[in-house]
Amino acid sequence: MSYYQFRNAEGQAHGSFEVFYYYDVLPTEERIGDSGFYWWPCFPGCLPESEPYGPFDTEQDAIKDATDYV
* Per-residue model confidence as pLDDT tens digits over 32-43: 788 899 999 888
pLDDT at residue 61 in the model: 96
How many domains does the chain fold into? 1
**Mean pLDDT of the region 12-31:** 76
- Cis preceding-peptide flag for 52 (omega within 30 of 0): no
Alpha helices by DSSP H, listed for the chain, are 59-67
Range of the domain at 40: 2-67
Q: Return d(Cα 19, Cα 1) in angstroms, integer.
A: 6
CA dihedral 66, 47, 2, 8 (to 10 degrees): 40
| Phi, psi dihedral angles at 15 (to 5 degrees) | 140, 180
**Greater pLDDT, 41 or 1:** 41
Model's pTM, two decimal places? 0.75
**Greater pLDDT, 46 or 29:** 46
